[in-house]
């Protein structure tokens, strides 16, 4: 759907919620936007930047332009789009650390020396630096230990996924309408 839109020069429409300022309306369009932001965020941005704020402005602007090619997004929504890209990029790095940094040999974990086959855009030199940063950096190890302690204390978990809480709000309203219709039909 997105590829066809970009090739034909058309853009997929995205509606924005007037109160929350998040994608709204057609579920397929907003999930496609969310997924595409994740793909675009991980491709051209090097995994070795510590924070999204360290990524050069030219790359960040390029990210937005790539997304805006396929979607009809307003310039005033640029901050939201790039904020989502930042979140997706951090989640990608977390996924790399969690699922690809180590491999299991018998009873122990061994650091994976080659870059993940699933992500061919990660060059071996970048992977080596990534390993060094997250295995040998004492500041990161300390932060990781603190965050593990915090996560144990959590008693709720985020359920929004790509669609966010707005989706669940719509689901609840829809179920209320159905319940109300059933209730009226009984009387």
Residue 50 phi/psi, 5-degree rounding, is: -70, -45
Residue 149 phi/psi, 5-degree rounding, is: -65, -40
pTM summary value = 0.75
Any idea which of 22-26, 42-46, 129-133 has the lowest mean pLDDT?
22-26
Summarised one tens digit per residue, pLDDT across range 159-172 is 556 556 666 677 77
pLDDT over 90, % of the chain: 23
Sequence ranges of the domains in the chain: 2-155
**Can you tell me the mean pLDDT for 65-72?**
86
Summarised one tens digit per residue, pLDDT across range 122-146 is 999 999 999 998 888 888 889 888 9
C-alpha gyration radius of the chain: 21
At 143 the pLDDT is 85
């Amino acid at each position: 759907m997105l590829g066809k839109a970009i090739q034909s020069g058309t853009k997929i429409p995205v509606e924005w919620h007037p109160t929350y300022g998040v994608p709204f309306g057609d579920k397929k369009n907003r999930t496609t936007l969310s997924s595409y932001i994740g793909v675009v965020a991980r491709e051209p941005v090097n995994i070795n930047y510590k924070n999204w704020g360290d990524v050069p402005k030219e790359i960040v602007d390029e990210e937005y332009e790539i997304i805006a090619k396929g979607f009809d997004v307003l310039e005033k929504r640029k901050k939201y789009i790039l904020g989502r890209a930042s979140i997706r990029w951090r989640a990608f790095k977390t996924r790399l650390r969690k699922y690809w940094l180590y491999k299991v040999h018998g009873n122990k974990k061994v650091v994976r020396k080659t870059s993940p086959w699933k992500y061919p855009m990660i060059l071996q030199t970048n992977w080596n630096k990534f390993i060094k940063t997250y295995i040998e950096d004492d500041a990161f190890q300390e932060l990781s230990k603190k965050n593990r302690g915090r996560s144990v204390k959590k008693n709720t978990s985020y359920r929004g996924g790509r669609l966010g809480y707005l989706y669940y709000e719509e689901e609840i309203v829809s179920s209320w309408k159905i319940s109300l219709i059933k209730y009226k039909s009984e009387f």
